Structure 1
Amino acid sequence: MMTLQTELLDAISWAAQQGWTPATGGNFSARTGAGYLVTASGRDKTRVQADDLLLCDLDGKVLEGSGKPSAESDLHAALYRMDSTIDCVLHTHTVASTVLSRRFPEGIELSGFEMQKALAGNVTHDATIRLPVVPNSQDMQELAEHVSSGWPMPWGFLVAGHGIYAVGDSIASCRRHLEAIEFLLACVLEENRWS
């Protein structure tokens, strides 16, 4: 039987294999009974292991593990406090999310893509949906305030010039959201190249 820790490690390894965690970038977490498991800072996500995860409480304080939490661990904590339905946060750095979040700082509109149906609550490609983009900040409290002011964001959001934060009510749904968002952004990036 797969444990929460194993499932999170699998998700991190999968994201790294896609090339979405360059230069040790990205951070990943899953809610637990005591708080959340999160990647330690500066760890190579292509070689992630159990001791690369820290257990933190919902205030971001380390309860178990060695090393310091990822630089954006406090944003993960804020998301878990903000919405009790979030059980996983996966954050990656990709070319499409970085470029498009700078080009469309008010959000990225999607319509007519079959893959929209992979995002929870969408049942047709005919709907027009918006992927939110929030301003970037090195101050995690300020960044959390940007996110909070635009909540709810049921699949996650982009941080301008930074990357994707996917959320889900399980690790599996969060992975699905991340993969769908990245695919949709790649489509938009390609369309913009040709227009």
Structure 2
Amino acid sequence: MMTLQTELLAAISWAAQQGWTPATGGNFSARTEAGYLVTASGRDKTRIQADDLLLCNLDGKVLSGDGKPSAESDLHAALYRYEPKIACVLHVHTVASTVLSRRFPEGIELSGFEMQKALTGNVTHEATIRLPVIPNEQDMVELARHVRLGWPMPWGFLVAGHGIYAVGDSIASCRRHLEAIEFLLACVLEESRWS
């Protein structure tokens, strides 16, 4: 039987295998009864192990584990406080999300893609949906404020010039959202080469 910890480690390893965690980038978390498990700062996600995870409370304070959480751990905590249904946050750095979030700082509209149906609540490719883009900030309080202003964001959001934050009500749904968002962004980036 897979535990929350092993399921999170599997999701991190999967994201790393896609090449979405360059130079130890990205951070990953899953909600627990005590708060959330989150990756420690500076860890190589291609070699992630159980002792690379920290347990934090919903204020972002480390309850157990060695190392320090990424500065962005505070944003994970804010997301868990904003929406009790969020069970997982997966943050990666991909070329498509980084480039397109700079090109479309007001958000990215998607329509006509079958893969839109992988995002919870979407039942047709004919709908037009919007992936939010928020400004990048080094100050996590300010970054969280931008997220709060754009809430709700049922699948996640992009941070301009930075990457994807996917959310879900389980680790599996968060993984699905992340993979679908990245696929959709790769399609938009490829289409932009035609124009």
**Same structural fold, with TM-score higher than 0.5 when normalized by the shorter chain:** yes
Tell me if 1:190 matches 2:190.
yes
The alignment's TM-score, normalised by the length of structure 2, stands at 1.00
Matches within 5 A, 1:158-177: 158-177=158-177
Letter in 2 for 1:54: L
Q: Which runs of 4+ in 1 moved over 2 A?
A: none
Unpaired segments of 5 or more residues in structure 1?
none
Map 1:80-91 to 2 at 5 A: 80-91=80-91
Q: Which amino acid aligns with 1:147?
A: V
Measured after TM superposition, the shift of residue 117 of structure 1 is 0.0
CA RMSD of aligned residues (A): 0.3
How many residue pairs match? The answer is 195
For residues 33-182 of structure 1, what are the structure 2 equivalents within 5 Å? 33-182=33-182
Cα offset for 1:109? 0.3
Cα distance between partner residues in 1 of 2:45 and 2:113:
30
1: CA distance, partners of 2:183 / 2:28:
19
* Partner residue in 2 for 1:12: 12
Please give the TM-score of this superposition, normalised by the length of structure 1: 1.00
The one-letter code matched in structure 1 to 2:137 is: S
Report the residue type matching 1:185 in the other structure. Answer: L
Where 1:28 maps in the other structure, the secondary structure is strand
